[in-house]
């Protein structure tokens, strides 16, 4: 069965990039219900169209600071089921953390990708699809920056080397099968590691989307 057509609100102030993304998304079967160049218009468009996913930049008018990010955070609080994919040139773990924290208990997926590191059209489209289904996709470069800065303190200090590797790949949005292939282990081994991660981070089954909460802990460290 073919995937359902996604209804997308796109927020990007660079006109050529915005038009290119519209053409790309619609060529591959998605529907861009609104495309805006201002963070205020982003909120209006979401309220009007109630899309499946928002794709937005971080820095946008009117202030050209982190207006797009702030609007995305507000929308995640208003609409827990809304998926948000941030597409930016800023490899800032603080931005990714803020977005996760704004919707820590949201059910909608979350993505944070760097424009100049997307390797191909298929990679971008797969990220849109994954986030729309509730997945979390963080650019590997953002994860690497965090890894270099992380100190081995609690609670991540309790994780084994393999568990930290698994958690890092989870932050990149990898599935259990992807993680198993990357680490050359079996999927049951990955599942066991993820169970240990949840236990050591104090995440019970009643904590909702434990995978997102584990990634949030990882990025905060």
Evaluated on CA atoms 96, 101, 105, 108, the torsion sign reads: negative
- One pLDDT digit (tens) per residue for the chain, 221 residues: 346 799 999 999 999 999 999 999 999 999 999 999 999 999 999 999 999 999 999 988 988 888 888 898 889 888 989 999 999 887 766 777 777 766 566 678 888 899 888 888 999 999 999 999 988 888 887 776 665 555 445 567 778 888 988 988 888 888 899 999 999 999 999 999 999 998 888 887 755 578 877 877 776 66
Strands (E), the chain: 7-11, 31-36, 53-56, 83-88, 110-114, 136-138
Domains of the chain: 7-139 (3.40.50.2300), 150-220 (1.10.10.10)
Burial of 2 by CB count in 10 Å (0-12 exposed, 13-18 middle, 19+ buried)?
A: exposed
Secondary structure (3-state) at 84: strand
């Amino acid at each position: 069965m073919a995937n359902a057509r996604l209804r997308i609100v796109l927020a990007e102030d660079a006109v050529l990039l915005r038009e290119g993304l519209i053409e790309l998304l619609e060529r591959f079967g998605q529907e861009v219900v609104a495309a805006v160049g201002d963070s205020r218009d982003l909120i209006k468009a979401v309220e009007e169209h109630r899309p499946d996913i928002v794709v937005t930049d971080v820095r946008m008018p009117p202030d050209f600071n982190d207006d797009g990010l702030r609007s995305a955070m507000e929308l995640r609080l208003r609409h827990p089921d809304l998926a948000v994919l941030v597409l930016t040139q800023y490899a800032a773990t603080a931005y990714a953390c803020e977005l996760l924290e704004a919707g820590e208990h949201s059910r909608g997926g979350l993505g944070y990708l760097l424009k100049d590191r997307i390797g191909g059209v298929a990679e971008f489209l797969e990220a849109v699809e994954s986030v729309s289904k509730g997945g979390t996709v963080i650019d590997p470069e953002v994860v690497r920056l965090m890894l270099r800065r992380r100190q081995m303190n609690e609670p991540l200090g309790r994780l084994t080397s393999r568990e930290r590797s698994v958690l890092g790949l989870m932050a990149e949005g990898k599935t259990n099968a992807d993680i198993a292939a990357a680490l050359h282990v079996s999927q049951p081994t990955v599942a066991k590691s993820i169970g240990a991660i949840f236990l050591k981070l104090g995440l019970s089954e009643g904590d909702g989307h434990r995978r997102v909460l584990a990634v949030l802990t990882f990025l905060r460290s």
